[in-house]
Amino acid sequence: MADNVNQNGKYKPHVLVLGSNFGGLTAARLIREEAKETVDITVIDRKPYLLFVPNIPLEVFGNHDPVSKLHMPFYQFLKEDKTNFLQAEVKGIDIESKYVDIVPTERSGSAPEKVYYDYLVIALGTRLDYAAIPGFGEYGHTVSDSYYGNKLRRFLFEGHYKGGPIAVGSARFKMGKRGNPEWLHDMKAACEGPPLEISLGLSSLLEERKWGTSKNITLFTPGEYIAEDAGIPIVKEFLHMAKDQMGMGYINNVGDVKQIYKDGIEFTNGASVEAELKIVLPNWNPHEFMKGLPISDEEGFVVTDLFMRNPEHPEIMAVGDASALAAPKLGGLGDMQARIVARQIAKDMGVLKHPEEDKPFKPVIMCFGDMGNRKAFYIHSDLFFGGKTGIMKMGHMYYAMKMGFKEMYYQTGGKPPGWGIKLTEVMGG
Ligand SMILES: Cc1cc2nc3c(=O)[nH]c(=O)nc-3n(C[C@H](O)[C@H](O)[C@H](O)COP(=O)(O)OP(=O)(O)OC[C@H]3O[C@@H](n4cnc5c(N)ncnc54)[C@H](O)[C@@H]3O)c2cc1C
């Protein structure tokens, strides 16, 4: 058991944050800000940098390597916070004994170890399950990490793409149900902002390079509507633009992706689409070791109340894509949850400065999507969750805001004033 004490000889609880991308890094940094020196904090991630996922499509379509643009080292920020970092793979969680099993990842062959926690913040995201899509490795493309981003970049810019049809869409997302509040609807796709963004960004690229037009592109979705979480009026506006004005194809209710072939995609509902380029977002599938835990739902997402604490194990909290309440899977929701978790821990330590901000999770979709030609769309909506706000805007200003948010994120080391919320309220809302 950790035996650190503070200056008054009082035991300092050990907060263990698993994962250090959007959810985990922001949570760790805000816990230090809110709880000050009352806790020891350790962050564990298999890699020592944050991958700035939302900007991968625009860097790829700009023929820039995401590795050089979108890897943000975070070690220095954690060091300044006096937060420990362990570069290791999380292998399992022993909830009764409060230990996490890890294996260091810098070199292969490392021996397993155990790390004790008093508080556990799970921000491990999920497995993006491309491996479950038959044919993906050979014929599929995507934009969710640097490896796949560069694979697509080479396909487009090294002369492999011959101007044929393009399919963009998602495989079926499997969401759990256990413990979900009634406003959390079952979703058939985990995150469909990217397909919208990819279709618009690609269509600008095709025209700029004279490789084709937006008519080359077909969007597909397992849902009734693509990106339904933006709110149906917004989706209808988007589809009017994409289908009626730009001439894109659109197929809905496809079931799941059954198989990707060289010349197209077959879906489980029997439909198929011809495509030279197949860009697919997969099922967001929780890590194997999360499945079957008493804190997890049927799929392996962490069940929490609206203060992000597991009801049976309130010392365990979840942030970001690993959380059952983050649906759709959006970094913006993880950011809101990280703020809640930091306040919860500060409150337990008796040092919460602004109790009036100690509010339950209330999701809002906040999203900037690249459209090419230095334009972006901006969506601010809580319609999907029963709210009344539904805003979609487009233009150069929103592109500047998208890029500005990344700069702010890097400058603050993952501690922005709130996923662009204040900025968007001033400029966009
Ligand atoms: C193309 C694309 C565009 C997107 N655009 C937007 C957008 O515009 N706005 C938005 O809000 N969201 C967007 N998203 C969603 C957003 O990227 C995710 O919601 C966000 O990354 C989730 O953050 P997270 O920290 O919860 O999980 P992740 O980003 O998945 O991070 C998990 C971290 O845990 C680490 N990890 C995982 N397993 C282990 C293990 N076993 N041991 C050790 N470390 C481990 C990983 O290395 C990683 O650092 C987009 C997603 C995609 C794919």
In the reported structure, the alpha carbon of residue 22 is separated from the centroid of ligand 1 by a whole-number distance in angstroms of 6
**Taking a C-beta distance cutoff of 8 angstroms, is the pair 232, 201 a contact?**
no
In the reported structure, the alpha carbon of residue 422 is separated from the centroid of ligand 1 by a whole-number distance in angstroms of 22
- pLDDT-derived band at 97 (thresholds 50, 70, 90) equals very high
pLDDT for the residue 2: 46
Same fold across 14-126+286-357 and 129-283: yes
In the chain, the amino acid numbered 313 is: H
Domain ranges of the chain: 14-126+286-357, 129-283, 365-429
Span 136-144, average pLDDT: 98
Token pair listed for 405? 């948010």
CA dihedral of 244, 195, 263, 283, whole degrees rounded to 10: -140
pLDDT digits (tens, 9 = 90+) for 336-353: 999 999 999 999 999 999
Q: Kind and range of the H or E element at 80?
A: helix 75-80
Q: Whose CA is nearest to atom 49 of ligand 1?
A: 21
Q: Whose CA is nearest to atom 44 of ligand 1?
A: 45
pLDDT digits (tens, 9 = 90+) for 204-230: 999 999 999 999 999 999 999 999 999
Span 391-412, average pLDDT: 95
Token pair listed for 367? 């999203």
| Of 255, 230, 223, 239, residue with least CA distance to 383 | 230
For 311, which DSSP code?
Answer: S
- Ligand 1 atom with the smallest distance to the CA of 124 is 34
In the reported structure, the alpha carbon of residue 280 is separated from the centroid of ligand 1 by a whole-number distance in angstroms of 16
Q: Is the CB of 290 under 6 A from ligand 1?
A: no
Q: Whose CA is nearest to atom 37 of ligand 1?
A: 124
In the reported structure, the alpha carbon of residue 19 is separated from the centroid of ligand 1 by a whole-number distance in angstroms of 9
Q: Whose CA is nearest to atom 22 of ligand 1?
A: 331
Q: Whose CA is nearest to atom 26 of ligand 1?
A: 320
Tell whether the model's pLDDT for residue 424 goes beyond 50.
Answer: no
Enter the pTM of the model. 0.96
Q: Is the CB of 20 under 6 A from ligand 1?
A: yes
Q: Long-range CB contacts (< 8 A, 24+ apart) of 148-152?
A: 149/56, 149/57, 149/59, 149/60, 149/66, 150/60, 150/65, 150/66, 150/67, 152/60, 152/279
Number of alpha helices (DSSP H) and beta strands (DSSP E) in the chain = 11, 22
Span 412-424, average pLDDT: 71
Tell whether the model's pLDDT for residue 314 goes beyond 60.
Answer: yes
Residue from 142, 330, 392, 424 to probe ligand 1 pocket by mutation (most atoms less than 8 Å from CB): 330
In the reported structure, the alpha carbon of residue 42 is separated from the centroid of ligand 1 by a whole-number distance in angstroms of 19
**Taking a C-beta distance cutoff of 8 angstroms, is the pair 70, 55 a contact?**
yes
Q: Is the CB of 57 under 6 A from ligand 1?
A: yes
CATH 3.50.50.60 fits 14-126+286-357, yes or no: yes
- Ligand 1 atom with the smallest distance to the CA of 57 is 1
- Per CATH, the number for 129-283 is 3.50.50.60
Q: Is the CB of 334 under 6 A from ligand 1?
A: yes
pLDDT for the residue 340: 98
Q: Is the CB of 368 under 6 A from ligand 1?
A: yes
**Residues composing the chain:** 429
Tell whether the model's pLDDT for residue 296 goes beyond 90.
Answer: yes
In the reported structure, the alpha carbon of residue 21 is separated from the centroid of ligand 1 by a whole-number distance in angstroms of 6
Q: Is the CB of 56 under 6 A from ligand 1?
A: yes
Residue 381 phi/psi, 5-degree rounding, is: -155, 140
Q: Is the CB of 89 under 6 A from ligand 1?
A: yes
- Give residue 67's Cα distance to chain centre: 18
Tell whether the model's pLDDT for residue 417 goes beyond 90.
Answer: no
Average confidence score pLDDT of the chain: 95
